[in-house]
Amino acid sequence: MDRTSTMQVSQQDFEKAQEQVKLLKKDPGNETKLKLYALFKQVGLTYFPRKPTVSWAASREDNARQKYTELVSSLVSAESADPKTDTSPGESRHGDYETVLVTTKNSITKIMFNRPEKKNAINHKMYREIMKALEEAGKDDSTIAVITGNGDYYSSGNDLNNFANIQPSEMEKMAKDGAVLLKEFVGHFIDFPKPLIAVVNGPAVGICVTLLGLCDIVYASDRATFHSPFSELGQSPEGCSSYLFPKIMGLAKANEILLFNKKLTAAEACAWGLVTEVFPDSTFQKEVWARLEAYASLPKNSLAVSKQLLRSMEKEKLHAVNSKECEVLQERWLSDECINAVVSFFQKKAKL
Ligand SMILES: CCCCC/C=C/CC(=O)SCCNC(=O)CCNC(=O)[C@H](O)C(C)(C)COP(=O)(O)OP(=O)(O)OC[C@H]1O[C@@H](n2cnc3c(N)ncnc32)[C@H](O)[C@@H]1OP(=O)(O)O
């Protein structure tokens, strides 16, 4: 439908739109769903066999019917033009996700961060959806699971909107709830029962860098960078990095990243042991997926048992580190240093 058209839509168009809504592959999000529901109710409440006279109710009904039909039409066309929602042959797409795209193919479950327009920043919904996707991937038939990003970024880390628009009286609750959510989120990576591979397609920031220490293999494009600007943001390390980074790269190098915000190139991250291997960006996807498909054809149970054995040596320690890091962060989020950093990002967009 032409969205600029002022032509009135018929009851038949409206009913067709109701059917199309049910067929959308991508959840349009709560805001849009509420809008659709409100419009639907306006039509529903006023719909009755129409008398020829034009009443205010009839005209409101026409308006709501038109807006509902146009909104659905825009959702349908956005979806059909959106490469994010495409799947390749043999790939099955999992359930009802808004912020991640979860697919399985060739015994590999891929969890793709899917907010490319926000550089895949992780908002509250995304934290929850990633946990849900990890729970499903841990139980499904796949041999390995992969985390990657859609678009030019792997992820810009925590969505700073998670700290925005909070009333002063709600700050403590925000920090407490944030710490609970973060602990649960990182716990899902500690406990993940199968090999978990990070395919770092572009720059990685903050929590998406620290979590790499909890992945079993990290492949990076030579375009990727690794930046954990905790002190710049008035925060402190998470994702068990305060324990794992010194173990992986030695204390001196970990200090440069975790205390002094050093941004690593992919080559540096590989030399320092955070990344397993770096590939040229032009062949990154082809080379990495060919390698992963070969790995995923190995005996599934043997891989899972071995992964769990390796992790079991450290699991208790990692949970204790995670708890401590979240406790410290809960305090940090209430500090002037952190609040000022968030405000300055939104005011003049102080970028990293
Ligand atoms: C439950 C809570 C748990 C908390 C766990 C704690 C974790 C710690 C961290 O993860 S710390 C890291 C936090 N991340 C940042 O500070 C990154 C902030 N972003 C930037 O500095 C820049 O956006 C950039 C360098 C990543 C990219 O710059 P570029 O110029 O290439 O692109 P834009 O800035 O125009 O970005 C496009 C739009 O995306 C929005 N955006 C990007 N990153 C974030 C983010 N982390 N949080 C919120 N929004 C982000 C950006 O605002 C643009 O939006 P707009 O198009 O609406 O303007």
Q: pLDDT tens for residues 144-166? A: 999 999 999 999 999 999 988 78
Q: Report the nearest-CA residue for atom 2 of ligand 1.
A: 178
- Structure tokens that stand for 118 in this block: 């926000």
Residue of 206, 205, 237 lying closest to 332 (CA atoms): 237
Average pLDDT of 257-285?
98
ipTM metric: 0.99
Predicted confidence band of residue 5 (pLDDT cuts 50, 70, 90): very low
- Distance between CA 295 and CA 116 in Å, rounded? 28
Measured in Å, residue 207 CA sits from the centre of ligand 1 at: 12
Residue of 324, 341, 345 lying closest to 333 (CA atoms): 341
**Contact yes or no for 193/144 (Cβ under 8 A):** no
Average pLDDT of 183-190?
98
Whether the predicted pLDDT of 1 surpasses 60: no
- Distance between CA 344 and CA 334 in Å, rounded? 16
Measured in Å, residue 286 CA sits from the centre of ligand 1 at: 28
Which atom of ligand 1 is found nearest the CA of 341? 16
Q: Report the nearest-CA residue for atom 12 of ligand 1.
A: 206
* pTM of structure: 0.79
User: Which of 119, 123, 153, 160 to mutate for ligand 1's pocket (most ligand atoms within 8 Å of CB)?
Assistant: 119
- Structure tokens that stand for 198 in this block: 């990070």
Whether the predicted pLDDT of 88 surpasses 80: no
Indicate the SS3 state at residue 114: coil
Strand 225-227 to strand 204-205: parallel, antiparallel, or no bridges (unpaired)? parallel
Q: Is the CB of 352 under 6 A from ligand 1?
A: yes
Q: Report the nearest-CA residue for atom 51 of ligand 1.
A: 118
- Distance between CA 320 and CA 316 in Å, rounded? 6
Q: Report the nearest-CA residue for atom 31 of ligand 1.
A: 119
Q: What is the pLDDT of residue 78?
A: 61
- The predicted-structure confidence for 20-34, as pLDDT tens digits, reads as follows 887 777 677 777 788
Measured in Å, residue 154 CA sits from the centre of ligand 1 at: 12
Q: Each residue of 94-130: b (16+ CB within 10 Å) or e?
A: beebbbbbbbbbebbbbbbbbbeebbbbbbebbbebb
- The predicted-structure confidence for 27-78, as pLDDT tens digits, reads as follows 777 777 888 888 888 886 544 444 444 566 677 888 888 888 888 876 776 6
Q: Is the CB of 330 under 6 A from ligand 1?
A: no
- Distance between CA 156 and CA 116 in Å, rounded? 10
Beta bridge partners of 145: 109, 196
Measured in Å, residue 89 CA sits from the centre of ligand 1 at: 33
**Contact yes or no for 221/200 (Cβ under 8 A):** yes
Average pLDDT of 9-24?
82
Q: Which residues contact 262 (CB under 8 A, 6 or more apart)?
A: 256
Cα torsion angle, 55, 57, 63, 66, sign: negative
Q: Is the CB of 119 under 6 A from ligand 1?
A: yes
Measured in Å, residue 5 CA sits from the centre of ligand 1 at: 37
> How many residues belong to the chain?
352
Q: What is the pLDDT of residue 134?
A: 98
**Contact yes or no for 104/143 (Cβ under 8 A):** no
DSSP string, 255-318: HHHHTT-PPEEHHHHHHTTS-SEEE-GGGHHHHHHHHHHHHHTS-HHHHHHHHHHHHHTTHHHH
- The predicted-structure confidence for 213-223, as pLDDT tens digits, reads as follows 999 999 999 99
H/E run at residue 183: helix 171-191
- Distance between CA 155 and CA 228 in Å, rounded? 12
Indicate the SS3 state at residue 51: coil
Q: Is the CB of 238 under 6 A from ligand 1?
A: yes
